[in-house]
Amino acid sequence: MDLINGFLNLVAPPFTFFALLLFLPPWIFFKFCLGILRSIFTENVYGKVVLITGASSGIGEHLAYEYASRRACLALSARRESRLREVANRCRQIGSPDVIVIRADVSNAHDCKQLVDQTVHHFHRLDHLVNNAGIAQVCMLEDADDITNLRPVMDINFWGSVYTTKFAAPYLRNSRGRIIVLSSSASWMPVPRMSLYNASKAALFQFYETLRVEFGSDIGITIVTPGFIESELTQGKFLSHEGKMIVDYDARDVQVNLTPVGRVAGCARGIVKRAMRGDRYVTEPRWMKMTYVWKVLWPEAVEWTNQLMCMTKVGGESRHDTFGKKILDITGVQNILYPENIQSSEMKSD
């Protein structure tokens, strides 16, 4: 066995290099032609049934509006039922022929089963499952007095998607449907203070990559890896080290830093358009793909940049006195980088 591994250690690198030289150019050309065909013959979701988790705000809310504008039937789920009903009413006004609201906590497997069952009982089918529900934690690992307070991050972000996918899979196979899952560019970017959030999104990515093999062509999978998009997260709503949901604008500025925040409507439009085209991956904004290239080719530079911008203190003793936050405060570039509706109340009153 050691002899075989030693042989592969010698052969695998040159074989991979020459195989890429030989097969990659024609494969890229084939994918280019396939992309053109998919752009012409996109999926029509008119009358199809779409189940969206985390639909009460942010990307999930606007995904509902995008599907509604294409006259899909919607099952909207979140924990805030009153907010869900507001979103549902707007979806009906936009053009959805039928919308139901289901209050559910995706971290609870029973709720997820009921969510899928109620959807299928009402519509008698399921075509698209959009796993969008998620929360973020912002704290250093060592600052958490009781690490179990941070379990909701993995329970909601990862297990919530696993549960709904498990219960929805038979119906999606029957309709040859599609799963759209909201992972994140945080799945490859080592952003400090968000270790569990980053890990949950990386787990999602690999989970659905594996399901591609298990489902084969029966169920399409689109993995979405957005950067910072206007949402409750970029409005400063986080899970604290005590396990409580808080709103902290300063912590938001430290985390988002000098990264431009994308408009949620444009992000949702791009996700639905490319999912209907059958794309395997969607990154919004598209330039965020290049951060993956940097991470693969020069990981030390990515780590150093995050350390400098998010960890290096400049004057003062506050945990928010970081280099990136100081630049934001001195230059006032929040007005350029952040959409107005996510700027802090202090900035809005200026």
Q: Which residues contact 80 (CB under 8 A, 6 or more apart)?
A: 56
* Both tokens assigned to 171: 């119906």
Angle, alpha carbons 21-27-32 (nearest 5°) = 130
In angstroms and rounded to an integer, the radius of gyration of the C-alpha atoms of the chain is: 22
Q: Is 197 a catalytic residue?
A: yes
User: In this structure, how many other beta carbons lie within 10 angstroms of the beta carbon of residue 202?
Assistant: 16
Q: Considering 67, 163, 197, 208, which one is annotated as catalytic? A: 197
Give the separation between CA 227 and CA 285, rounded to whole angstroms: 7
Could you give the 3-state DSSP secondary structure of residue 345? helix
Angle between helix 323-331 and helix 299-310 axes, rounded to 10 deg: 60
Cβ atoms of 132 and 54 closer than 8 Å: yes
CA dist., res. 27 & res. 37, Å (int): 15
Name the token pair of 169: 């899979």
Measured CA to CA, the distance from residue 326 to residue 261 in angstroms comes to 18
Helix runs in 44-80, H state only: 58-69
d(CA 263, CA 59): 10
For residue 179, give the nearest of 134, 222, 239 by alpha carbon: 222
Residues ≥6 apart with Cβ < 8 Å to 318: none
> Catalytic amino acids?
197
